[in-house]
A and B are shown apart, each in its own frame.
Chain A
Amino acid sequence: MRIRTKRFLKEKFREYYQSSSMYIPHRLKNREWGFIMIDDNYPDKTVMKRHKSFSSEKQLRSYVESMTPAHAYFSSAYYTNPGIPKMDGKEWLGADVVFDLDADHLSNSEDLRYEEQLNEVKKETIRLIDDFLLDDLGFDLEDLIIVFSGGRGYHVHICSEDVRNFGSPERKEIVDYVYGTGLENIIEESNERSESMDRAVNILKLNKDFSTWAERIHKWIVEVYLKEISKLDKSDAIEKLSMRKGVGETIAERIYEAIKVERKLNRIKETGNLDIAKGVPKIFWMDLVSKAKKELRVEPDEPVTSDIKRLIRLPSSLHGGTGLIVRPMSFDELDNFNPLNDAVAFDNKDVDIKGNDDFSINLKGNEISIEEGKIKSVPEFAAVFLSCSGFVEVEGW
């Protein structure tokens, strides 16, 4: 990155920090802080200044305003002596539980545009909160802090007194829960390879009382998968069913006949009995169960949650790799949240930039495109985003 671009970013970041309100975590004095500066090394080599601590909001603000860091982090943990450089000396008092959901893990992330990736992760975040954190684990919405990470995902912090003393094993257990790790065999494995025609009731442990996960999987199979099939024309349904493992046309037809009438499907829902047709092989159910599992789980970055001494991005700070705001929001806002509009800081003033690459993106409703080697004017908010991401250098600074 050229010096003039760094100078531009530093100035813009300073303007932002001077004019915006700052998120203050609970137990501010007990947190450890870490910053990456816009200095000579930036952005090629990142050196984090950590083990900082602040005794007041004012002190924190004035540090951030004067240093204008590219990235700002605080510890999910709180300590008696957060500023001591050795971890042993800090004296751990407790920690929030943090989930980090990122587009990295999406199986098809490379095929998706940035906007699409963000949208996928948002849906996952909503499921994490709705299904797992609120419904199952019973956390209170008011104890959750929901944050756009400024990059390719979302963070959810749980700040309840209940969780602060959890050690790594308890935290890991929660990650395993939302990801479905270690799920007991919902299907007996004994005859996995044989063409067994066991009755579904014998092989599928999807009884409601078995586990909440089993109940969800059952629900997905009946109320999502089979329901969708039941609404198709016969030929489409058979085609779709035959694509699944272990199902030929005959069996596909039998399954379809068994579920096409709504009343029949409702009966399956009520009784829970999946013995819907003769001769449906075990492999069909196994395949469906694993599909259900993939649809239902969420995949947070495991070490972030299990680690009891992690640094996490400061909500309301700027993300130095995108220039976007690490924006905290309410759960209601999340549904319609669009990072490329709602997390964009800075205004429309024109800034001249020179493209390092061909690239286009829609920011705040403006289609911005740049070409390699070409100089053009773009709005300031776009200049910040593009130069932080390394797509352009700023001219004239």
Chain B
Amino acid sequence: MEKKIALYPFLPESQNFVDEEDIGLVDLLENPRFASARSRARRRVKWSIEKGRIPPAENLDKELDRHSELFSYILSRLIVSCIKDDYLVKRYALSESKTFYSRIYRETSLEVKEIANSLGIESAITEQDFIVSLVDYLKSSSPLKEKSWKLVNRKIKSGKVFLTEKKFRRMLQEVVRKKIEEDLPLDVPDEVQSKLKYILEDIMQTLEKRESKFELDFEGIVDKELFPPCMNKIVSDARASRNLSHTERFAIVSFLININVGYNKILDIFKSSPDFDDERTSYQVKHIAGNHSENKYKPPSCETLKTYGICVSPDWRCDRVSHPLGYYSWSLKSRKENENQD
């Protein structure tokens, strides 16, 4: 088996290899031959929940190790499919794709091009750039929210988009994430469920442990009804485990800080985001909050939010304010007035 097949188990050639081996489900789940693949699969899923990445592989010089690396991926997918949890699927796909990114880092440009080709992305290499079609670019890069990914900031000629090699690799990470996420959960026969029972219980516990860390009592902390539509959208995106762009994060955090939501409550909101990273987020929130109240960052104005495409379905109140905080204080005031009338 080529090393590539073990390292990039979601490529069609890896799939072909698995098909040719023709290993029965029962073997995979019970045969001692696959014991190490099973234990690695369990770690694969566990790490993805706990750390957002896949545990590093053995050096894969031995055929045996490659074998169990490849089949641990097949088993991981079965595990994730048994649990049928939207958050887990997203988190797992993200983790696999991050590991993919770190692995292709060691490949030559030509190899990266080949891997991309297997993933359905055709490209051409020039001295400085990777060139991809507009259609592939838009489809793969649309979840990437950083400004430099906007088409407007790219070099594009006759439907060909120019990317640095680093950006091209990053785009491929997105392709892998999407591919894994879209394929899951697989239909798994009941017998798999029962045969994997001991692993599934472990994974469920890990998942619960993580979830209990971030009970989402967002409704409890401030009244979301008073928020402008844009901020509401970001909060629901975060809760639906969608990735937030840097600007969206900044906007919601600075907004919440300015309406005096506590630091820990803010962290809670982000914990359901699939790429949540405890340390990084808490650093960011602290930074935005500033040491003293006068150092606090203000959220961007409506105009800026519009530029970043964060402004969504503005309502009648939006037409009359120019800042999300203005919206909030107005709606808060009207709420109080209403209450007084009652």
Contacts and interface: CB of A to CB of B under 8 A. Distances in A.
Nearest to A163: B135
Contacts of B139: 166, 170
B155 A180 contact: no
- 10 shortest A-B CB distances, which residue pairs? A138-B159, A138-B158, A169-B142, A170-B138, A182-B150, A184-B153, A177-B151, A162-B135, A211-B153, A177-B152
Contact of A182 (B134, B158, B307): B307
Contacts of A173: 138, 142, 150-151
A167 B141 CA distance: 13
Given A169-B142, A182-B308, A213 B157 contact: no
A183 interface: yes
Interface in A151-180: 162-163, 166-167, 169-170, 172-174, 176-177, 180
A180 to B, nearest CB: 6
Counting contact residues on chain A (CB < 8 A from B), the size range is 20 to 34
B156 interface: yes
A92 interface: no
Interface in A131-158: 135-139
A212 B134 CA distance: 14
B154 interface: yes
B147 A137 contact: no
Interface in B119-176: 128, 134-135, 138-139, 142, 147-148, 150-160, 162
B155 A210 contact: yes
Contact of A138 (B134, B138, B148, B150): B134
Contacts of B159: 136-139
Contacts of A166: 138-139
Contacts of A136: 156-159
B309 interface: yes
B239 to A, nearest CB: 20
B150 A137 contact: no
A209 interface: yes
B135 A211 contact: no
| Residue of B151, B156, B159, B307 with most chain A CB atoms under a 10 A cut-off | B151
Contacts of B152: 176-177, 180-184, 211, 213
Contact of B309 (A137, A172, A209, A212): A172
A176 B151 contact: yes
Interface string A90-114: 0000000000000000000000000
Nearest to A183: B152
Interface in B3-55: none
A174 B309 CA distance: 13
A107 B306 CA distance: 19
B151 A209 contact: no
A212 B154 contact: yes
Contacts of A180: 152
A211 B158 CA distance: 14
Contacts of A215: 155
Nearest to A135: B158
B151 A135 contact: no
Interface of A is mostly: loop
A211 B147 CA distance: 12
B153 A182 contact: yes
A204 to B, nearest CB: 15
Interface in A206-220: 209-213, 215
B189 to A, nearest CB: 30
B122 to A, nearest CB: 13
A193 to B, nearest CB: 17
Contact of B151 (A162, A163, A167, A174): A174
A128 to B, nearest CB: 15
A156 B142 CA distance: 23
A176 B145 CA distance: 13
Contacts of B162: 209
A172 to B, nearest CB: 7
Contacts of A139: 159
Contacts of B154: 211-212
B155 A209 contact: yes
Nearest to B128: A209
A184 B309 contact: no
Contacts of A184: 147-148, 150, 152-153
A213 B134 contact: no
Contacts of B157: 135-136, 138, 212
Nearest to A209: B155
B160 A211 contact: no
Nearest to B247: A182
Nearest to A174: B151
Given A169-B142, A170-B142, A137 B308 contact: no
Nearest to B153: A184
A173 B144 CA distance: 12
Interface in B304-322: 307-309
Nearest to A205: B153
A136 B139 CA distance: 17
Interface string A326-339: 00000000000000
18 contacts: A137-B159, A139-B159, A166-B139, A167-B142, A169-B142, A170-B138, A173-B151, A177-B150, A177-B151, A184-B147, A184-B153, A209-B155, A209-B162, A211-B152, A211-B155, A212-B155, A212-B157, A213-B152
A212 B160 CA distance: 11
Interface string B268-307: 0000000000000000000000000000000000000001
A127 B151 CA distance: 18
Contacts of A174: 138, 151
Interface in B85-135: 128, 134-135
Nearest to A297: B152
B142 A213 contact: no
Given A173-B142, A184-B147, A138 B153 contact: no
Contact of A212 (B128, B148, B156, B308): B156
B136 to A, nearest CB: 10
B150 to A, nearest CB: 4
